[in-house]
Amino acid sequence: MFELALLPFPSSSYFPRWLISLFYGFGLFGTALGCLMFFGQIVLPNKNRLNYLLGTLFLGMSVLQGSSIAILSSSDPSFVWLILLHIPALYAVGPVLYGIYKSSTGESFLHSKQDLLLHSVFPVTGVLLYFVVLFGMENLSETIRRSFAEAVFPSPLDWILLPAVIGIGFYVFLVLKSSRDLWRWEVWKSEPTARILSFLVVMSLFHLTLGAFFFVTKIPDFLVFTSGGMGLALCAAYVIGHRYPGFFQKLQEVTQATREKYARSLLVGIDRATLKENLLHLMEKDFLYREEDLGLGDLADELALSTHQVSEFLNQELGKNFSVFVNDYRVSEACSLLTAEPDKSILDIAYSVGFRTKSSFNRAFQKHTGVTPSEYRSSKSG
């Protein structure tokens, strides 16, 4: 096979040994943490598209780190399958990042067969190339050895990754273009959510740049920093998820409010009275709010409008953002059920009116009524 081990470290390392060891350790830790965070999203009782996308991202980061560790430290031919896993992971990361952004801001993603086919091109291509290389490339061990151990650039494996790099750049451009309102100085200065998003975007670009340097120069240090940096990013994501459990909901609200502030009215020529009537019918007759995966894009599709038009209407006509508007209906029905069905558990009531978790139900209920669901039930039964 080939020998490319950083343990012991090569004498040509450009950085102190302790620093390389530290980032190598974060890479190992991040590989396990990514898998754990993936399962954390998958086992949630009420999953939506965003949970699946986040889980896929965490798994992809784990795979990339595991592949990097294998490149850095393995000389066992049986690990070729692991070394090559960076191919499908890199092909999938662009669409997944774009899907997370679209889903977290309440916009439609994969709501049509056309969208599904379009955004599946890169992930499917990556999987096919992985198996073609693994089972169809002649002298695979020699190709890998020349690509990494002999620092050949460009190697056949580098050419295979070129479309993935272009795809990532394309999807990052789409995210930056869609989120440009959040990069305004006044928004960035006043909204922690915008600053966190900026940090995540900058760190993603930084890691991609380090990875690109490795594939061009084949200097192992860059791969160590890329792998360790992803481990640190997963640690940061874990902390953010616990410190700001409503981060993605807040991101949706900030995005909508910012766009409305700087955009011209999108409701010119629309019969607002009819629109309001249709909106209330969907909520009060069709009980659309009971759908736990309901997003702004889904409501806009029902009304045959854009998400920006619906958001502007809610803010101008009802004085509410999408989240508050939907939760008002959910909490109102929950109040009725808490008194009408005393034997029904609070968790069952939360699920029946459209909440995905008990914690989100409790927050919305207390914000709406000033008391917890159990306190409300006790006060009405007493």
CB 148 within 8 A of CB 218: yes
With a threshold of 0.75, does the pTM exceed it? no
Q: What is residue 320's three-state secondary structure? A: coil
Distance CA 135, CA 299 (A): 46
pLDDT number for residue 126: 93
CA distance 365 to 343: 19
Quote the tokens at residue 70.
């294998």
pLDDT range class, residue 49, cuts 50, 70, 90 = confident
CATH architecture, domain 17-251: Up-down Bundle (1.20)
Topology (CATH) of 270-381: Arc Repressor Mutant, subunit A (1.10.10)
User: For residues 11 and 250, which has the higher predicted lDDT (pLDDT)?
Assistant: 250
- Residues near 148 by beta carbon (within 8 Å), at least 6 away in sequence: 2, 4, 71, 218
Question: Which residues of the chain are in CATH 1.20.1070 domains?
Answer: 17-251
Question: Which two three-digit tokens encode residue 360?
Answer: 């989100």
Per residue in 153-202, pLDDT tens?
Answer: 677 888 898 899 888 888 888 887 777 766 667 666 666 666 766 777 77
* pLDDT value for 318: 84
Task: For residue 333, count other CB atoms closer than 10 A to its CB.
Answer: 17
- The residues, ordered by sequence, that sit 6+ positions from 192 with a Cβ below 8 Å of its Cβ are 244
- CATH 1.10.10.60: which residues of the chain? 270-381
Long-range Cβ contact pairs of 202-207 (< 8 A, separation 24 or more): 203/229, 203/233, 203/236, 204/97, 204/172, 204/233, 205/172, 207/233
